[in-house]
Amino acid sequence: MKLLLCLLMNISAESGARLIQVAAEYDGQRIDNFLLRTLKGVPKSRVYRILRKGEVRVNRGRIRPDYRLHAGDLVRIPPVRLSVADNERHPPQPLLERVREAILLEDREVLVLNKPAGITVHKGSGVDFGVIEALRALRPEAPFLELAHRLDRETSGCLVLAKTPAALQAVHTALRAHTAAKHYLALVRGHWNQGTWEVTAPLRKNVLRGGERLVQVVEGGGRPARTCFKPISLFRQAALLKVEIATGRTHQIRVHAAHIGYPIAGDDKYGDPAFNREMARYGLRRLFLHAHSLTVPLGGREIAVSAPLDETLREVLERLETES
């Protein structure tokens, strides 16, 4: 075996390829995520291209992008050129400070952030840096750090990142099995007199409207989605709701809220422009949707975290309360 490994490494060195033996902490990680982590700075499209073409081999065989690694696997990575610019780029200091100050909990398995509104969870679509890039810059010694789920750019609140492949898989399993509880706070238009309201309208992603890609309710053709709205505070022209989701579709809460006639304040994609202008008078300059709390079972224990509303959202509620 040692002779074979030396031979393989020599072949890899001569061809410019890399041969990496998978360490125990990466057991269970998907090969695409492993490559994205290993080949920092390489565009995601390039990583998936070498996977599709079979240039990446595991134990000398071709694999699919969703293949999960095992400790001891031998991964052959073809030569991939990194530009100097890609290697030298670094998240700006103000972003690093905002992310550092937003950390709510961190242990050996997970890191939970009170993600500020306006920051994406990862780079892409014209955005150079997101939460994950900032945290990897803040934790350069961490062997593993991955997003366990996602939040929209304009949504604030609890965001979980996994520090081990096992933790990542545990969070994913809990989300799929609905054993994780996610609660949001949303300010919506109008006087709410519905009590608790469960919405199950199916959703379809990437529906074009005027050249813009949206998520829409599509009866009989969308993916199942379930959102439960419960009133917390009622104001003269708005209501603060507690929202629980049993599925994690893109823009689910925003689309379901608009679908039942109670669009979320500050939503410039699915909301009511006139209501948004009215809420701007109360100081609201962003989407009023906040991932308030999260409970996740994790390896025999339970992670329970709550993220407070930021000062801007608290002041909006105080002004609405004063006028009601």
CATH of the domain at 235: 3.30.2350.10
* 171 part of a folded domain: no
Nearest in space to 151 (alpha carbons), one of 115, 105, 103, 187: 115
Q: Which of 51, 79, 107 is the last residue of a domain?
A: 79
Give per-residue burial for 270-292: e unless 16+ CB within 10 Å, then b. Answer: bbbeebbeebeebebebbbbbbb
The answer as to whether 124 is a domain residue is: yes
Q: Are residues 210 and 319 in the same domain?
A: yes
The tens-digit pLDDT sequence of the chain (324 residues) is: 443 344 344 334 445 788 888 877 777 888 988 888 788 778 888 888 899 999 999 999 999 888 999 888 999 999 886 554 444 568 999 999 999 999 999 999 999 999 999 999 988 777 889 999 999 999 888 878 889 999 999 999 999 999 988 898 899 899 888 899 999 999 999 999 999 999 999 999 876 666 677 899 998 888 999 999 999 999 999 999 999 998 888 899 999 999 999 999 999 999 999 999 999 999 999 999 999 999 999 988 999 999 999 999 999 999 999 987
- pTM metric for this prediction: 0.78
- 107 and 243 co-located in one domain: no
Give the range of the structural domain holding residue 156, as residue numbers without chain letter: 93-166
DSSP letter at 203? E
Amino acid at 47: V
Q: Which residues are catalytic?
A: 152
Are residues 271 and 195 part of one domain?
Answer: yes
Q: Which of 18, 51, 79 is a domain's end point?
A: 79
302: Cβ contacts below 8 Å, ≥ 6 apart: 295, 296
